[in-house]
Structures are given as C-alpha cells and as structure tokens.
C-alpha cells in the first residue's frame, strides 16, 4: 500500500497500546530513498524520534512502534528540497514523497515548480 509523507502528518503513534504522540513529520534519508524515521510530538513536550527500524505498522489511522520514542538525534539529514536536472538547471522543489508502507521505501517524489 502506498501513502504520502504528508498523509502521515497528524497520525497518532501507538506504543504498547497507548498513544505516545502524533506524527509531526516523516524524515527521509539523505538520498530520499527510504523513510529514516518520524518526528512526533505529544502536547507541549519536546519532540521525540521514532526510528524506522522500530515501526511495526504504518496504518491508515495510526502508526505502531515496537519501542519507546527516543530523543531527537543531534544530526538529521538535510531535507531534500530542490531537484536539479543533469545539466544543472533547477527542476523544482520537493513537496511530498510517495512511500510504500510495508517496505518504508520512497517510490516517487512530488516536485513543484
């Protein structure tokens, strides 16, 4: 099943039967090939990190994690924001990514001029 990273935003994150936060955003690796993890928030507390290896299920209504969310890593990959053609000219901005929920691999990027 496919889903966009933007569709993940706002989904509740469940660990051991309890909601531990909501997805703030999904983070792709620096090559924009797979999901690296999720930044989640719960109330006014600090943002937390759910690494992709701990995600058991990405569903239509929630995300299930097998481990407690962690502190945000010191270094996250830079967001893939611009796409260039081989000749160096700007093609556009990355606005979303199509993700396979089972493999957590990015299938396509949405690019806007």
Model pLDDT, residue 84:
87
Comparison of pLDDT for 41 and 82, the residue scoring more: 41
- Burial string for 72-84 (b: 16+ CB within 10 Å, else e) reads eeeeeeeebeeee
Beta carbons within 10 angstroms of residue 29's beta carbon: 14
Measure the CA angle with vertex 55, ends 51 and 106; round to 5°.
Answer: 80
Model pLDDT, residue 48:
96
Residue 76: both structure tokens together:
């996250």
pLDDT above 90: percentage of residues in the chain: 78
Which of the four pLDDT bands, split at 50, 70 and 90, describes residue 31?
Answer: confident
Residue 19 has pLDDT above 80, yes or no: yes
Residue 26: both structure tokens together:
């999904």
Average model confidence (pLDDT) across the chain: 93
Question: Mean pLDDT lowest for which of 9-13, 41-45, 74-78, 86-90?
Answer: 74-78
Residue 62 has pLDDT above 80, yes or no: yes
Which of the four pLDDT bands, split at 50, 70 and 90, describes residue 60?
Answer: very high
């Amino acid at each position: 099943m496919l889903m966009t990273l933007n569709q993940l935003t706002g989904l509740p994150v469940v660990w051991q039967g309890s909601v531990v936060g909501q997805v703030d955003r999904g983070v792709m690796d620096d090559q924009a090939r797979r999901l690296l993890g999720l930044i989640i928030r719960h109330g006014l507390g600090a943002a937390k990190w759910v690494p992709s290896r701990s995600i058991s299920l990405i569903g239509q209504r929630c995300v299930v994690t097998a481990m407690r969310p962690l502190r945000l890593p010191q270094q996250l990959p830079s967001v893939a924001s611009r796409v260039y053609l081989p000749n160096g000219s700007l093609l556009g901005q990355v606005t979303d990514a199509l993700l396979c929920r089972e493999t957590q691999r990015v299938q396509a990027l949405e690019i806007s001029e």
